[in-house]
Amino acid sequence: MSRYRIPGMGRVDPAATVSFTFDGRTYQGLRGDTVASALLANGVHLMGRSFKYHRPRGVVTAGSEEPNALIGTSRGKGRFEPNTRATVQELRAGLTTESQNKWPRLSFDIGAVNDRAYMLFSAGFYYKTFMWPRSFWDKVYEPFIRAAAGLGKSPTEVDPDSYAHRNLHTDVLVVGGGPAGISAALTAAKSGARVVLVDENPEMGGSLLSDPSVRIDGRGSWAWLAEQLSQLRAVGVRLMTRTTAIGYYHQNFVGLVERVTDHLDQPPHGAPRERMWHVRAEQVVLAQGALEKPLVFDGNDRPGVMLAGAAQTYLNRYGVKVGDNAAVVTSHDSAYYAAFDLVDAGARVAAIADTRDSVRPDLLDAARKRGIQVLTGHTATATEGRLRVKSVRVNPVRNGQVGAGRKIACDVLLISGGWTPSLHLFSHTKGSLTWDADSRTFLPNHKTEACQIAGAGRGLWGYGPVLEDGVKAGMAAAQALGRSAEGSDARVEGDRPGTGSSQKELPTDRSPGKAKAFVDYQNDVTAKDIRLAVREGMRSIEHVKRYTTNGMATDQGKMSNINGLMIAADALGKEPPQVGLTTFRPPYTPTSFGAFAGYHKGATFEITRKTPIDPWAEARGAVFEPVSLWRRAWYFPQAGEDMHAAVARECRMTRASVGMFDASTLGKIEVAGPDAVEFMNRMYTNPWTKLAPGRCRYGLLLGEDGFIRDDGVIGRMSQDLFHVTTTTGGAARVMNMMEDYLQTEWPDLDVWLTSTTEQWATVALNGPNARKVLEKLVEGQDLSDEAFPHMSVAECTVAGLPARLFRISFTGELGFEVNVPARHGLQLWKAIHDAGQQYDICPYGTETMHVLRAEKGYIIVGQDTDGTVTPQDAGLDWAIGKAKKDFVGKRSLSRPDIVAPNRKQLVGLLTEDGTKLEEGAQIVLDPNQSLPMTMAGHVTSSYDSVALGRPIAMAVVTGGHGMMGKTVHIPMPNGTIRATVTSTNFYDPTGERLKA
Amino acid sequence: MTTQRHEFDPTPFLVEELPWAPRFSLRVRPEHRAALAGALSLELPSKVGQRSTAAGTEVLCLGPDEWTILAQDADALTTASSAAYAQIPHSLVEISDREITLRISGAQALTALTTGCPRDVEAMPVGTGARTLFDTATIVLWRDDRQSFRIDVWRSFLPHVHAILDQVLVELKSGL
């Protein structure tokens, strides 16, 4: 048994020893311990070094609000985690832990020189110290700050753990498994509601776990607790332990993170480390309790100084005596009970120094009976002890005068500055707070969500009132759900009621300017920092916070916000609510990235959409590129070919004979109904009325602003049916836009839209021999130019498959696109590939498609357009139905800035020296102008063209359409490139090849 | 201390890919629903989520003017649709190949769905359906029994959905 473990106390298992290491040394703890309780059982208080001053620090709390005892934990390879709270991490066999922020070792740390030089590190020291000289910023200051900033080592290995995700709907979600939460959950569940009760601890019970002497309904609190839990289970309440409610969002949407395996010696195969729960609750009951505040005085951060409530928890819940000889400094009654429990367990309490002048007589009696000296009206002014507190100096305060100090020897100093209701989740809802002048604390006020707040979380104290309040909250939740709930009374004996007084930093007889009286342990903010911030002009607590970093550490000021506010308010001579309270934001406690990512890592990081033809491309060694969520074959390299060679070959073979391309990713929308043509007229710029069934047309889609949004070929299958194609990336967007107009602007139209993107697999055939290949496979359609001219569409059979066949071209060659039901896509592809063998058919990828279309000046929406390009800018005036009354974007096309002559217009560029331009390169008209030069536009597309024997480019250039034949300049790092402005239609400008 | 329960279930749920079957999306204005139902010899439920089954044809109402039809006789349906079109304007589009259907069944089928579906699946009555999400993929969810569901997933989204369900299976087998 460890030196400080008390047999027979605590909820740990004395028969189950668990070994772990801390800074390389092996310790024994018990099953049920946290790392903190196990170290304390071994007499270890020193657990870390502080962030800024590298001061030795010990554990302060017994919960998730711990600011000091942040450690690195490792559960094996790849499973290192920095900044784990020793008070939260449960012991498990083989756990390796280490302290942080120390070098060379925890007990002797070079960085502690900062502590000696603390005058340099006052509030705002970054702003003051690193201001000048300016030239030092990049080379000296920023690297220094980056090296110094942060706490703990970032993991460097890939996280091998898995993380999970669940959705959960419930009638009532109760957050906090203490007495109030348990009462609320049971009351609501008995009304028949579905209830979920969550608690961040390994077991339910909250404060009851630290107060076994209280009796409820004639039983010890632990027996009562066990019975309540079995009742909760019996009525079907879902009990979730090790589960933190991290955020409370709109409409009672609450995020929970469940720690599933971190506490297990041998997690079963496949078990996730953590699980994120998205809970949607009809009613939420917040029963989060209250957090104890420290007192602020010189030396209140030495190892061995801890919250009184934490000491009580270590004793009762873990059977660990935090010291042999305690001293107590308090401003709240609750610390007395901690002292009593310690004495009753065999420790000595040297004295209780109370800041208050009068204390409840029953507490004084109980203290006297235990031989504890109580010093009322006292302040604490100093502590001693380097790696562990040795003594505390206390002084009487009379009429505001601090008297002579006396030293009280101790090996642990328990402090309590009272309790702050935990308002975090309530604040996430933007619920308003009210300042309670009596208890000098903020309480929840106006609610914005369907929630109830119960217990210490709304300022109540003592088990009787808290249990009663929990029942009330459960009834209120049930009634809000339209259920009738019955109340119940709990009889509490030996209750531990309490009140306290709220404090700023404690008065001292020494120089307050030299006091290291810590307000925020995690960020090393002292009381004098806050007063300095006020002196230097900070008026709002938001400014004080940012200037001093008070409350900005990962604990979000759970312990420091209120103390900081009290001091700032005092310095400003205002009431605290006039100075304000900073906003709490999710997550409530630090949360792993893994919990947020859930299943979205590795192969399921993001959806990768593949076409039915994708397996063929993969087997052929295609190189893929992502296009929106799709992966598309980019090019098909043959042995020894690089991308350049492969693309050149694909281009050459397609123009020379025939190429085939998987166009299945194109968006497809079936537009059907008597008003289909009217709808098309209104959506697209083009006129559709006269387009005969069996014909197709290039369609251009604008936004209301007149800028190009999407394009594609659209076939009229019958009078009332259009087969619309969209860009690959635009499919969902176009569908949404169309539905939006249809439902909100034109609900009178009898037309319906159905996405058929994935109904069809599409193979494009291009090249002079395309018809010869296809003819062998097509039944039911004459493919001759007379019977099936360019821009035709027909339903027929291809390779024995029902098909929609288009004669269209995105290459300038004779071209067809065959659509078959997607399940037949691969079969069609193979049939065409086989049929094309005698013509050396060449499968090509998206890169060749891009080159071939650029040679013809066909735009790609999103590459040659960027959301600011009009049809005129792109040279697509011809696609506008000038006689149409209206279409989306029509009115914008006559806006003065849209018809202005000097807009950026799409043109071709040919470099004089034959270099290939870089896409995105900026264009200037005069390369000799002074810097910064006036940019006239930029290159949008650039390729080596086999057909033209030179590189070609497309670009948007100011007034480009009026600059044909003129020279522009493209300044690059290695010199300025000259290029001639041309038409974008580089290849076969008269279009003879299309008509073959 | 609470002890963690380990319930090892060798098959928490089963995922089966169902064979291809003719599937259509039907759209018609609510006021023409009854007339069209008569013309197509279908029962078209009027409430979103409701289903009907008659002569091997299943219909699910997905919106006030939208139904998914799993047709027993696709030719008869399209023929009747063409015949009725002039009188009752509507849209009947074949989507047999757009989606692939998975059946998810077994003791923890519901739990498996809650990993990716934000809807209250538990509260969904048996014999209803809904358009919803699984992870980031749109699905149509059919509840056939307390622990038996079908999900229709767009073809290219299916591997992702399947891969997540595979992970969930491993997770549920762990008992945690």
Q: Mind listing the domains of chain A with CATH numbers?
A: 13-128 (3.10.20.440), 163-290+421-485 (3.50.50.60), 294-417 (3.50.50.60), 517-580 (1.10.10.1100), 612-627+637-665+759-838 (3.30.1360.120), 667-756 (3.30.70.1400), 854-865+891-995 (2.40.30.110)
Q: How far apart are CA A788 and CA A808, in angstroms?
A: 11
Q: What share of residues in chain A are helix, strand, coil (percent, to 5)?
A: 25, 30, 45
Which CATH number belongs to the domain containing residue B77 in this structure? 3.30.70.1520
Q: How confident is the model at residue B5 (pLDDT cuts 50, 70, 90)?
A: very low
CA atoms within 13 A of residue A844's CA, in its CB half-sphere: 31
pTM for the model: 0.93
Strands B57-63 and B51-54: antiparallel
For residue B75, the enclosing domain spans 23-94
Look at residue B106 and tell me if it is in a domain: yes
User: Which pLDDT does position A120 carry in this prediction?
Assistant: 63
Task: Give the distance from residue A809's alpha carbon to the nearest chain B alpha carbon, in angstroms.
Answer: 25
- Domain end among B94, B112, B130: B94
Task: Give the distance from residue B29's alpha carbon to the nearest chain A alpha carbon, in angstroms.
Answer: 8
pLDDT tens, position by position, A364-379 = 999 999 999 999 999 9
pLDDT tens, position by position, A197-235 = 999 999 999 999 999 999 999 999 999 999 999 999 999
CB contact under 8 A, B1 and A202: yes
Q: How confident is the model at residue A145 (pLDDT cuts 50, 70, 90)?
A: low
Alpha helices in A766-883 (DSSP H): 770-775, 825-835, 846-855
- Which position has the higher pLDDT, A112 or A623? A623
User: Which pLDDT does position A105 carry in this prediction?
Assistant: 82
For residue B6, pLDDT over 50 is answered with: no
pLDDT tens, position by position, A505-543 = 999 999 998 999 999 999 999 999 999 999 999 998 999
| A31 contacts in chain B (CB < 8 Å) | 1
Look at residue B9 and tell me if it is in a domain: no
* B160 shares its domain with B124: yes
Exposed/middle/buried for A43, CB within 10 Å: 0-12, 13-18, 19+?
middle
Angle between helices A676-683 and A731-744 (to 10 degrees): 110
Task: Give the distance from residue B155's alpha carbon to the nearest chain A alpha carbon, in angstroms.
Answer: 6
Q: Report yes or no: A13 at the B interface, CB cutoff 8 Å.
A: yes
Q: How far apart are CA A15 and CA A20, in angstroms?
A: 16
Q: Which of residues 787-816 of A touch B (CB under 8 A)?
A: none
CB contact under 8 A, A169 and B90: no
* B90 shares its domain with B34: yes
* B103 shares its domain with B165: yes
Q: What is the mean pLDDT of chain A?
A: 95
- Could you give the percent of chain A with pLDDT greater than 90? 90
CB contact under 8 A, A270 and B156: no
- Using the structure block, give the residue that is written with the tokens 């299958």: A717
For residue A1, pLDDT over 80 is answered with: no
Look at residue B7 and tell me if it is in a domain: no
Q: Report yes or no: A453 at the B interface, CB cutoff 8 Å.
A: no
| A756 contacts in chain B (CB < 8 Å) | 93, 95, 98
* B109 shares its domain with B168: yes
Strands A760-766 and A752-755: unpaired
Task: Give the distance from residue B53's alpha carbon to the nearest chain A alpha carbon, in angstroms.
Answer: 23
* B103 shares its domain with B166: yes
Q: Report yes or no: A14 at the B interface, CB cutoff 8 Å.
A: no
Look at residue B64 and tell me if it is in a domain: yes
Q: Report yes or no: A884 at the B interface, CB cutoff 8 Å.
A: no
Of A260, A278, A759, the CB nearest to B95: A759
User: Which pLDDT does position B2 carry in this prediction?
Assistant: 39
CB contact under 8 A, B120 and A164: no
Q: What is the mean pLDDT of residues A729-734?
A: 96
Q: How far is CA A903 from CA A54, A961, A962, in A?
A: 61, 10, 11
Q: How confident is the model at residue B4 (pLDDT cuts 50, 70, 90)?
A: very low
Residue A544, phi then psi, degrees to nearest 5? -60, -40
User: Which pLDDT does position A554 carry in this prediction?
Assistant: 87
User: Which pLDDT does position A582 carry in this prediction?
Assistant: 77
- Which position has the higher pLDDT, A18 or A155? A18
Joined together, the tokens standing for residue A868 give 């600011």
Task: Give the H/E segment covering residue A183.
Answer: helix A179-190
> Beta-carbon neighbour count of residue A476 at 10 Å?
19
| B1 contacts in chain A (CB < 8 Å) | 11-13, 31-32, 202-203
Look at residue B72 and tell me if it is in a domain: yes
CA atoms within 13 A of residue A174's CA, in its CB half-sphere: 38
User: Which pLDDT does position A666 carry in this prediction?
Assistant: 97
Task: Give the distance from residue B171's alpha carbon to the nearest chain A alpha carbon, in angstroms.
Answer: 5
Task: Give the distance from residue A255's alpha carbon to the nearest chain B alpha carbon, in angstroms.
Answer: 13
- Which position has the higher pLDDT, A146 or A788? A788
Q: How far apart are CA A467 and CA A475, in angstroms?
A: 13
Joined together, the tokens standing for residue A482 give 């339209």
Task: Give the distance from residue B143's alpha carbon to the nearest chain A alpha carbon, in angstroms.
Answer: 17
User: Which pLDDT does position A153 carry in this prediction?
Assistant: 84
pLDDT tens, position by position, A902-922 = 999 999 999 999 999 999 999
Number of structural domains in chain B: 2
* B83 shares its domain with B103: no
Q: Which of residues 863-882 of A touch B (CB under 8 A)?
A: none
CA angle A489, A495, A500 (to 5 degrees): 120
User: Which pLDDT does position A132 carry in this prediction?
Assistant: 67
- Domain end among B31, B64, B94: B94
Q: How far apart are CA A454 and CA A184, in angstroms?
A: 8
CB contact under 8 A, B163 and A604: yes
Q: What is the mean pLDDT of chain B?
A: 94
Of B96, B98, B174, the CB nearest to A269: B174
| A821 contacts in chain B (CB < 8 Å) | 96-97
Q: How confident is the model at residue A580 (pLDDT cuts 50, 70, 90)?
A: confident
| A278 contacts in chain B (CB < 8 Å) | 118
DSSP state letter for A336: H
CB contact under 8 A, A264 and B136: no
